[in-house]
Structure 1
């Protein structure tokens, strides 16, 4: 079995992929789009991608590609606790440049502002790529924000621990595949994720779409708008709904159709908690 993940080794996505598929051949890709395309092209059996962080919100590259360009679904979700570490090739360096993924930089921006106000920030495709780049330039005044696993993987020293602004920091990861895998982690819930496109001539369209779920007692855990990329002011809406009673969800989708509201299923999955 082959599984694609956002690499290189030592990233949070790599940790999730290893926990979900401990015996699989894990293949690293440089960015989220390439990870998705690896499954789309049949190169791998599953792809592991980040979809939302509890501090910084949705990963738009993931959601936009799945809505606009792909006909593939999330078949499982894994929630990974996130702790960000500041690391360098040695302690005591006068850090001039800090590298990391935009989400990790955003999660640690308060610490950086307080302790390294003059450091230049450089974005990378993943936290692990940042750590590897710093390790490859030991004579430079560089640091990276990345997980502990990246420090171990690339021989870096952690110079500041747990720099994320909020202790309760989690990231949702979706597993893209043809069918649900067998995962040896505790499951917490069953959910379905939808992208809704509302008709222009339906007054109160968003309210009516939400009421389809509300009056059936279906809990919505996420509602977010994203640009349709057609014209200014036109959006599609992403919702996550509890799917513990799938028959009710099916009836809800039929009612959406009767109202003229289009939907695309982004995922139908069990939610697991990573170690």
Structure 2
């Protein structure tokens, strides 16, 4: 089996792929859109993409592509603890620039501001790209924020450990595919993710949409709005809810249709934890 992930090697997504699918053929791609397209084009059997971080929120590139452009569903979710390390080619190097993914920079910004206030922050497509870039430029006064696996992958020295501002830092990753393979990780939940679009002529449409879950005792775990990219002020809504009773969920979805609310299923999946 072939699995696409957001690379290069040493990224958090790569770590998820290695831990969940140690015997699969792992293929790295440069950005989230290319990861998803690789699955759409039949280059791989599955694709792993980040969807949400507990500190920085949703990964908009993932949700927007799945809603607007793809007809793919998540078949599994894997939750990974996130620990950010500051690394360089040598421990005693002066640091003039720090490279990383925007979410990693945001998670370590307090540490950087306190300890390297003069350093410029540079954005990269992933944390692992940042690590690889500074490894390829050892003569420069560069550092990267990346996972420990990236330091091992690119022979870098960790100069500050666990610089994320909040210890309870987790990222959700979705496995996209037709059906979930066997995943030998602890299973902790079962959920459904929907994207809702609301009719203009239905007063209280969002309230009515959420009520079909509330009165059935179906617990919502996420709600978020994203622009429809049509006109200003129009949105679609992403909701996640627990799926502990398939029959109740089926009735809730039928009621959404009955009251005129359109939805797209983004995933119906078991949740696993690293």
Give the 5 Å matches for 1:170-209. Answer: 170-209=170-209
Give the 5 Å matches for 1:135-146. Answer: 135-146=135-146
1:119 aligns to 2:119 (yes or no): yes
Cα deviation 1:165-224 (Å, max 9, x = unaligned): 000100000000110111000100000000000000111100000000000000000000
Shift of 1:117: 1.2
Shift of 1:225: 0.3
Q: Secondary structure in 2 aligned to 1:39?
A: helix
* Alignment partners' CA distance in 2, 1:114 and 1:78: 33
Partner of 1:221: 221
* Alignment partners' CA distance in 2, 1:181 and 1:18: 14
Partner of 1:93: 93
Q: Secondary structure in 2 aligned to 1:185?
A: coil
Shift of 1:10: 0.5
Q: Secondary structure in 2 aligned to 1:250?
A: helix
* Alignment partners' CA distance in 1, 2:69 and 2:4: 18
Q: Secondary structure in 2 aligned to 1:152?
A: helix
Shift of 1:19: 1.3
Q: Secondary structure in 1 aligned to 2:213?
A: helix
* Alignment partners' CA distance in 1, 2:265 and 2:186: 24
1:258 aligns to 2:258 (yes or no): yes
Q: Secondary structure in 1 aligned to 2:39?
A: helix
Q: Secondary structure in 2 aligned to 1:78?
A: strand
* Alignment partners' CA distance in 1, 2:177 and 2:19: 16
1:231 aligns to 2:235 (yes or no): no
Give the 5 Å matches for 1:36-185. Answer: 36-185=36-185
Q: Secondary structure in 2 aligned to 1:150?
A: helix
The aligned length equals 274
1:25 aligns to 2:63 (yes or no): no
Q: What's the TM-score, normalizing by structure 1?
A: 0.99
* Alignment partners' CA distance in 2, 1:146 and 1:153: 11
Shift of 1:22: 0.8
Cα deviation 1:13-38 (Å, max 9, x = unaligned): 00001111110110000000000001
Cα deviation 1:73-105 (Å, max 9, x = unaligned): 000000000000000000121111100011111
* Alignment partners' CA distance in 2, 1:247 and 1:18: 35
5+ residue gaps, structure 2: none
* Alignment partners' CA distance in 1, 2:166 and 2:181: 32
5+ residue gaps, structure 1: none
Q: Secondary structure in 2 aligned to 1:216?
A: coil
Partner of 1:35: 35
Shift of 1:135: 0.3
* Alignment partners' CA distance in 1, 2:88 and 2:99: 10
* Alignment partners' CA distance in 1, 2:159 and 2:75: 38
